[in-house]
Amino acid sequence: MSDVTLANYLGPGSNPNLTMVLGKNAPKWRTYNLNYQGIGNIPWSDDSSAQWSTWDVFDENANYYGTITLNCSSTAATWVRYAAGTHGYYLVGIQFGPVQGKTGAYQLTVQQIIRPPQTTGGPFPDALLATPAVYPRTSRPIVLTTNGARIVNDQGNTVLLKGVVRPSLEWNSQGQYLGASDIAAMHSWGANCIRIPLNQVWWIASKPRTTTGSYKQIVDAMIYYAIQQGMAVILDLHKTDTSEAPALMANQDSLTFWQDVAKTYASFGTVLFELYNEPVNISEQQWLSGGGGYVGYQQLYNAVRHDAGANNPCIVGGLDWAYKLDFVSKHFCVQGTGLVYCSHPYAPKGTPSYNGPSFTTNFAGVLGTFPVIFTEFGGNNMTTYKDIDYYKAVISYANANEFHYTAFAWWVEAAKPDFPTLIGDWGGTPINSGVIVHDDLKVSPGTSLT
To the question of pTM greater than 0.85 for the whole model, the response is no
Q: Which of 115, 128, 369 is nearest to 242 (CA)?
A: 115
pLDDT at 48: 58
Which one is the CATH code of 144-443: 3.40.50.1220, 3.40.50.2020, 3.20.20.80, 3.90.1150.200? 3.20.20.80
List the beta strands (DSSP E) in 179-219.
Answer: 193-199
In the chain, residues under CATH classification 2.60.40 are: 5-114
pLDDT at 383: 52
User: Would you give the distance in Å from CA 158 to the centre of its chain?
Assistant: 29
pLDDT at 100: 87
Q: Which of 129, 159, 128, 130 is nearest to 143 (CA)?
A: 159
109-145 burial: b if 16+ Cβ within 10 Å, else e? ebeebbbbbbeeebbbeebeebebbeeeeeeeebbbb
Collect all residues with Cβ–Cβ distance below 8 Å to 387 and sequence separation of at least 6: 347, 378, 379, 380, 381, 433
| CA atoms of 264 and 91, how far apart (whole Å) | 29
Collect all residues with Cβ–Cβ distance below 8 Å to 109 and sequence separation of at least 6: 9, 10, 94, 95
| CA atoms of 109 and 96, how far apart (whole Å) | 7
Residues of the chain with pLDDT under 70: 1-2, 24-29, 45-51, 117-120, 380-386, 414-418
Q: What are the φ/ψ torsions at residue 427 (nearest 5 degrees)?
A: -80, -10
pLDDT at 1: 45
Q: What is the pLDDT of residues 275-320, one digit of tens each?
A: 999 999 999 999 999 999 999 999 999 999 999 999 999 999 999 9
Q: Nearest 10 degrees: CA dihedral of 295, 208, 142, 233?
A: -60
In the chain, residues under CATH classification 3.20.20.80 are: 144-443
Other Cβ atoms within 10 Å of 175 Cβ, number: 23
| CA atoms of 122 and 338, how far apart (whole Å) | 34
Q: Which of 394, 292, 273 is nearest to 334 (CA)?
A: 273
Q: What is the pLDDT of residues 76-99, one digit of tens each?
A: 889 999 998 887 888 988 999 999
Enter the CATH code of domain 5-114: 2.60.40
pLDDT at 49: 56
pLDDT at 386: 62
| CA atoms of 196 and 169, how far apart (whole Å) | 8
- In this structure, which amino acid lies at residue 115? R
Exposed / middle / buried, residue 320 (Cβ in 10 Å: 0-12, 13-18, 19+): buried
pLDDT at 325: 98
